[in-house]
Amino acid sequence: MYLAYPTHPTYSFTMPSMSDAFRTTLDLFNTGLDLMRQNLRRQHPQANEEAIDRRLRQWLLERPGAELGDSTGRPVDVDARRR
């Protein structure tokens, strides 16, 4: 079955290249790090940059509230898939 999508006369969409999509992904990741770093600075105004970086690394490793990942679904043992 073919679905036709209406197009706006002044808007055209082209799929980004893989490298552009990857660059966008990295940019979003870095933006997220910057936002979390600012959040940590607000939560801990007395902390120096080294302490903020340590807390950021800890947050990346533990991900409070998203220990099983960012999406719904069943947990998967990735090590079992490598065997």
Quote the tokens at residue 36: 């979390």
* pLDDT value, residue 53: 96
Indicate the DSSP class of residue 17. Answer: P
Average pLDDT per block of 10 residues along the chain, 83 residues long:
57 79 93 96 97 94 76 74 68
* pLDDT value, residue 62: 84
* pLDDT value, residue 7: 61
Residue that has been written with the tokens 């979003």 in this structure: 28
pTM score, two decimals? 0.62
Question: Amino acid letter at 31?
Answer: T
Among residues 65, 43, 64, 62, the alpha carbon closest in space to that of 52 is found at: 43
* pLDDT value, residue 1: 47
Domain boundaries, the chain: 17-60
* pLDDT value, residue 47: 97
Question: Amino acid letter at 80?
Answer: A
In contact, 52 and 44? CB cutoff 8 Å: yes
